A and B are shown apart, each in its own frame.
Chain A
Amino acid sequence: MIHELRAVWHDTRMIVLCAISGALYAAVLIPFKVVPLIPGVTELRPANAIPIVCSFLFGPAAGWGSAIGNLIGDFFGGVGPGDVFGFAANLVYGYLPYKIWALIGCGQSPVDRSPLGVAKYVMTCFCASILCADIVGWGDSLLGLRPFAVLGNLIVFNNMLASCLLAPFLLAAIYPRVRAGHLLYSDLMVLPSSPCSFARRLAGLVMLVFGGLSAWVLGNLVSAGFWVPGFLPSWASTPPYGAAVGIVVTPFLVIGLVGASWL
C-alpha cells in the first residue's frame, strides 16, 4: 500500500491527477452537498461516487485526491480535529477500490455488467466503504465528537448508495474513453511491483473483510451501549463509551488496515 501511495509523488502526471481528483471531489461536494433524505439527519452526497470512479481511473492518485478533496470540502464548511480521521478515511476510500479490483477483477473491466461483475463491484465498494466508516467512526468516538453508531452507519449507507447507484453510470461513460485515450493509471505510471505474493494479497483481502466488518459491528454494539465487554476497565465502561470503542475496535481496525496494505 505504502509503496504505491509514495510512487504517486514521483510522477508529475500523477500529482496533477491527484490534485484534479481532489478538486473534482470538492467541486461536486460543495455545490451539491445535500440531497436530504431526512432533513437535518441524513443526506445523500452524489460526490461520494467520485473517489470510486477516480480510483478505477487514476489508481493510487485517487486515494490522495479523495483525502485532499474531502479536506477542501471541510474547509468550505469548517474543519475540526475529526477531519484528520476524515483525511485518512477518504484516503482509504479512494485507494482501495482499484487495489481490490486488481485482485478479484481477474482482468474484467469495472464496467462489466454481468452478474459476477456486478457482485465483485458491489463487494469492492462495500469493503472500501466499511473501512472508511470504521476509521471515521473510531476516530470521532475517541475524540468524543459523534457516536460510532450514528456516523459509522451513515457513512456506509451514503458511500454504498453513491457508489452503487451513481458511480456505475459515471464509470460506464468515462472508463472506456479514458482507457481508449491511454490515460488510465496503468498507462501513465510504472507501478512499483507488489512485494506481496498472490496468496498474501488474498489473505489481505480476507483480513480486510474480517477486520472491517468486525470493527463495524462491534463499534455499533459498544457505542450504542448494547454490549459492554466485562474485561473493560471501569473508566471505559461508562457512557459515552468513546474509550470502550477505542479498546474494542482498534485491534480489528488494525487487522483491516494490515489486510489493506497487503493487497
Chain B
Amino acid sequence: MALTASRSLHLGGPPEIEVKEVSFTYRGSTEPALHGISFVQRRGEIVGVVGPSGAGKSTLVKCLNRLVPSFDNGTFAGVVKIAGQTLAEQRVCDVAPLVGMVFQDFESQLFSTNVAHEVAFAMEQCGYSREEMVQRVGAALRAVGLEGFESRDPATLSGGEKQRLAVAAVMALRPRVIVLDEPTTDLDPQGRAEVFALIEQMRLQGATLVLVEHDLEALRVCDRLLVVRDGRIVADLPPSELMARVELLESCRLRPPDLSLLCERLGITPHTQTLEEAERAIRARFRICATACESRLDYDASASSCLPVTRVGQEANKGRQEALIEVRKLTYAYPEGRLALEDIDFAVGSGEFVAIVGRNGSGKSTLAKHLVGILRPTRGQVLLGGRDLSRLTVAEISRHVGFVFQNPDHQIFAATVEEEVAFGPRNFGLKPDEVAERTQRVLAAVGLEKLRFQDPFLLSKGERQRVAVAAALALNPRVLILDEPTTGLDFFEQRRMMELLTELNRGGVAIVIITHTPWLVACYARRVVMMERGRKVFDGPVRQFFASSELLENSAFRLPEVTALSRRLGLVALTVDELVSVLEARS
C-alpha cells in the first residue's frame, strides 16, 4: 500500500492535474507498465517522480500529454484531467498549449537552426501572430538567461544551455503544466546547476511542474515526491519524509542522500535536511564545540591514513608504480588554431585508479583521446611503455590501452554480445580457440555470461555499457580509459559499473575515468586530475582534492553532502562510513 503524506494536498490551489486509475500495457508486453495509478497535483505545486529504471516514470508523465497512448501503442485505461479538462481522444499536438514537456535528450528536441526560431517553433505551430511571437520569444529567453543568444545556432550551445533553451521553447507557449523528464541526466555539473537554478526560479514564480529525476538530493526543491516502482506509486510524500526512509529508497534502487544515510547510521531523529541542521545535531550529539573539533580532528591533507579507510577498492591501490602511459609537455590545437590542451604533464602507473574531472570543454576528453592515439599532439609527446605513441598505429596502441566511449552505442553492431566482444580479438588475428577463451573470460569478468547470446541492442544502457567495457577488455589492455561511463545510468547501475571497475583494478588494470559525478570520485578513485581551460590545475590524492576549497569553488564540481558536512566539522570524509567511524571512535 502506498504511503501518503498527511500534507499531500497542502497547497490551496485548484487541482491542475488529476490522474485517476490509469493503467497502460505496451503492445507485445504481458506485464502492465502502469497499474491503476492515481494522484492529484494542485496549481503551483512541484511534484518529483522518482524510481528505478524501467519503473514506469516516463510512461506515467507521458500520459499527461497523451504521448501515451498516442505514440506508444498499447492498452490504456483511466482518466487524465488537466485544468479540469479531460484528455481523451485529443491529439498530442492539441494538448501542447496545456502541457509542455522537456525531454532528457536535448538533441532530439531542438529542431531549428537558430535560438529565436527554436523558441518560436511551438507558437508557429499554434498559429500565433508574429508580434506576439517576438514579444514571447524575448520574455522566454530572458526567463532562462539566454538573452543575446537569439541568432546562435543551437548546435553551438553547451548541454546546459541547450536544455535551458528547450525549457524556454516550452515556456513560450505558457502551458498550465510543465513536465521535465530527466532534464539533467546527460548534463555536466555546470549544466545541472543551471537547470536546477531555473527550476528554483520557476518554483518561486508559482509554476506547476512535474519533475522526473534520479538524483534525490536535487529534488528537495519539490513539494511532494512520488516513488514509482513496478508501475505503481509506492509512496507519495514530502521530500523530507521520503528521504528519511532509507530502506524504502534502497529497495527502489535510489541513492539515499548522504545526510539521510548518516542520520540513519548515527540514530539521529528526525533526519536533518540541511548541512547546518546536520552539523548542529552532530555537534550536540558528540559534544563537539567548534574550536575543539577543529583542533582535534584537523585534517592533514598529505596523510591519507588520517581517517579509517573503508572505501571500496582501497586495498588494491597501493600507490603509483611504473608509468604505463606518460604525457610530456602535451599541447594540442584544433585545426582552426584554438588551443585545447596546453603543456600537460601526466602519467598513469600500473594499478592506479585515476579520475579526470573538470567542466565541459576543459580538455578532459581531448587528453584521454591522446592517450589512445585517436588524436596526435601538436607539440609534446605521449609515451606508451617508453615508446613514442606517434610511431604506433591506433590498432597497436589498443592492445595496451582500452578506451570506452561515453555512448556505448557508438561501437555496438554485432548480432550477439559474444560476437561483439570477439570482434576485437578477431581483428588482431587471434586463433578461434584463443578468441573463444578470451571472450568467455571477459564476459565472466563483467557478469554478462548469461546474456552472451542476447542482441546487445536490446539490453539496458547499463548492460550495453558493460558490453563496451568487455569489448575493450578482450584486447587485454593494461590501462582502461572510460569517458563518463555512468552517464544516463541509475544509482544501481552506476554502482554496478564502478564495482566492476574496482574489481578490474584489483586484478591489476589501471583505470582512468572521466566523470562529473562527485560521489563516484570520492568513493572509488584514488587520484584526481582536474582540468581547466586546457590546463592541468590539480593532480593528487582524492582527499587532498576535496580539501581544497579554492579548487572546488572554481570548478562546477559539487561536493558530496557528507564531504561538505565533514569539512564543516574540520575534516575531510569521503564516505558516510568514514565519517561515522571517526565520530564513533571519538565518542
Interface residues of chain A, those whose CB is within 8 Å of chain B, are: 13, 173, 177, 180, 182
Q: Which residues does chain A contribute within 8 Å of B455, judged by CB atoms?
A: 177
Complex alpha-carbon distance, A182 and B29, angstroms: 12
Interface hits, B14-33 → A, CB 8 Å: 27-28
B413 interface residue (CB < 8 Å to A): yes
| Cross-chain contact B457 with A177 (CB below 8 angstroms) | yes
Q: Is the CB of A173 within 8 A of B28?
A: no
Q: Which of B218-253 contact A (CB under 8 A)?
A: none
In the complex, how many angstroms separate the beta carbon of B76 from the nearest chain A beta carbon? 17
Q: Once the chains are docked, how many angstroms separate the CA of A182 from the CA of B413?
A: 19
Min CB distance B109 to A, Å, is: 12
Give B contacts to A, CB under 8 Å.
Answer: 27-28, 71, 73, 413-415, 455, 457-458
- Given contacts A177-B455, A177-B457, A182 and B415 within 8 Å (CB-CB): no
Contact B457–A182 (Cβ < 8 Å): no
User: Which residues of B lie under 8 Å from residue A182 when comparing CB positions?
Assistant: 27-28, 73
Secondary structure call for the B interface: loop
In the assembled complex, 8 residue pairs joining A and B whose CB atoms fall closer than 8 Å, in A order, are A13-B71, A173-B413, A173-B414, A173-B415, A177-B455, A177-B458, A180-B458, A182-B27
- Contact partners of B414 in chain A: CB under 8 A: 173
Q: How far is the CA of A177 from the CA of B413 in the complex (A)?
A: 11
Listed from nearest, the 8 A-B pairs whose CB atoms lie closest are A177-B457, A173-B413, A182-B27, A173-B415, A177-B455, A182-B28, A182-B73, A177-B458
Bound CA–CA A13/B414 (angstroms):
27
A177 to B415 CA separation, bound complex (whole angstroms): 10
Query: Cβ of A173: which chain B residues have Cβ within 8 Å of it?
Result: 413-415
Closest Cβ of chain B: how far from A13's Cβ, in Å? 8
Nearest-neighbor residue (CB-CB) of A180 within chain B: B458
Across the interface, name the chain B residue whose C-beta is closest to A172. B415
CA–CA, A182 to B455, complex, Å? Answer: 16
Known contacts A173-B414, A177-B457, A180-B458, then 8 further A-B pairs from the complex at CB < 8 Å, ordered by chain A residue:
A13-B71, A173-B413, A173-B415, A177-B455, A177-B458, A182-B27, A182-B28, A182-B73
Q: Which residues of B have CB within 8 Å of A13?
A: 71
From B26, which residue of chain A is reached at the shortest CB distance? A182
Closest residue of chain A to B72 (Cβ to Cβ) is A182
Please name the residue on chain B nearest to A169 by beta carbon: B413
A180 vs B455: C-alpha distance in the bound complex, in angstroms? 11
Chain B nearest Cβ from A186, distance in angstroms: 13
Please indicate the chain A residues that have their CB under 8 angstroms from the CB of B457 in the complex.
Answer: 177
Give chain A residues whose Cβ lies under 8 Å from the Cβ of B27.
182
In the complex, chain A residues whose CB is within 8 Å of the CB of B71: 13
Residues of A contacting B28 with CB < 8 Å? 182
* Shortest Cβ gap from B407 to chain A (Å): 16
**Smallest CB-CB separation from A13: which chain B residue?**
B71
Q: Which residue of B lies closest to A177 (CB)?
A: B457
User: Roughly how many angstroms separate A13 CA and B27 CA in the complex, as a whole number?
Assistant: 18
Q: How far is the CA of A177 from the CA of B416 in the complex (A)?
A: 12
The interface residues of chain B lying within 8 Å CB-to-CB of A180 are 458
Q: Once bound together, how far apart are the Cα atoms of A61 and B27, in whole Å?
A: 24
* Residues from chain A with Cβ under 8 Å of B413 in the complex: 173
**A173 to B416 Cα, complex, angstroms:** 10
Shortest distance in angstroms between A167's beta carbon and chain B's nearest beta carbon?
15
Give min CB distance, B117 to chain A, whole Å. Answer: 16
Complex Cα spacing A182 to B457, Å:
14
| B118 → A minimal CB distance (Å) | 16
- CB A256 to nearest CB in B, in angstroms, measures 36
> How many angstroms between the C-alpha atoms of A182 and B71 in the bound complex?
12
CA distance A13 to B70 in the complex (A): 12
Residues of chain B within 8 A of A177, CB atoms compared: 455, 457-458
* Cα separation A201 to B138 with both chains bound (whole Å): 55
- What residues on A are CB-neighbors of B458 within 8 Å? 177, 180
The minimal Cβ–Cβ distance linking A147 to chain B, given in whole angstroms, is 38
Closest Cβ–Cβ distance, residue B153 to chain A (whole Å): 16
Residue of A nearest to B455 (CB): A177
Q: How far is the CB of A179 from chain B (nearest CB, A)?
A: 12
Nearest CB to that of B27 among chain A residues?
A182
**What is the minimal beta-carbon distance from A46 to any residue of chain B, in angstroms?**
14
Residue of A nearest to B457 (CB): A177
Residue of A nearest to B111 (CB): A19
A111 to chain B: closest CB distance in Å? 11
Shortest Cβ distance from A12 into chain B, in angstroms?
8
How many angstroms from the CA of A104 to the CA of B130 in the assembled complex? 52
- The docked-state distance in angstroms from the alpha carbon of A81 to that of B347 is 57
Complex: A180 Cα to B458 Cα, angstroms: 10
Q: When chains A and B are docked, how far (Å) is the Cα of A173 from the Cα of B414?
A: 7
With a CB–CB cut-off of 8 A, which chain A residues contact B415? 173
Closest chain A residue, CB of each to CB of B108: A16
- Complex Cα spacing A67 to B406, Å: 33
- In the bound complex, how far is the Cα of B419 from the Cα of A173, in angstroms? 12
Q: How far is the CA of A177 from the CA of B414 in the complex (A)?
A: 12
Inter-chain CA distance A182–B26, complex, in Å, is: 11
Q: How far is the CB of B121 from the nearest CB of chain A, in Å?
A: 14
Complex CA–CA separation, A13 to B455 (angstroms): 25
Closest chain A CB from B296 CB (angstroms): 61
Task: Report the separation of the CA atoms of residues A182 and B458 in the bound assembly, to the nearest whole angstrom.
Answer: 13
Separation of A180 and B415 alpha carbons in the complex (Å): 13
User: CA of A13 to CA of B67 in the docked complex: distance in angstroms?
Assistant: 12
How many angstroms between the C-alpha atoms of A177 and B458 in the bound complex? 9
A182 to B28, CA, bound (A): 9
Q: How far apart are the CA atoms of A244 and B73 in the complex, in Å?
A: 55
Q: Complex Cα distance A218/B354, Å?
A: 68
In whole angstroms, how far apart are the Cα atoms of A13 and B93 in the complex? 13
Give the docked Cα–Cα distance between A13 and B415 (Å).
Answer: 26
CB distance from B411 to the nearest CB of A (A): 13
Chain A, residue nearest B91 (CB): A12
How long is the Cα–Cα vector from A177 to B28 in the complex, in angstroms? Answer: 14
Measured CB to CB, the closest approach of chain B to A91, in angstroms, equals 23
Q: How far is the CB of A2 from chain B (nearest CB, A)?
A: 26
Closest chain-B Cβ to A166's Cβ sits at a distance in Å of 13
CA distance A13 to B73 in the complex (A): 13
A24–B164 alpha-carbon span in the complex (Å): 27
- Kindly provide the distance from the CB of B427 to the nearest chain A CB, expressed in whole angstroms: 16
Give Cα distance in the complex from A92 to B71, angstroms: 29
Q: Which residue of A lies closest to B71 (CB)?
A: A13
Q: Which residue of A lies closest to B73 (CB)?
A: A182
Q: Specify the chain B residue showing the minimal Cβ separation from A187.
A: B73
- The answer for the CA separation of A161 and B455 in the assembled complex, in Å, is 28
The complex places the Cα of A48 from the Cα of B275 at a distance, in Å, of 60
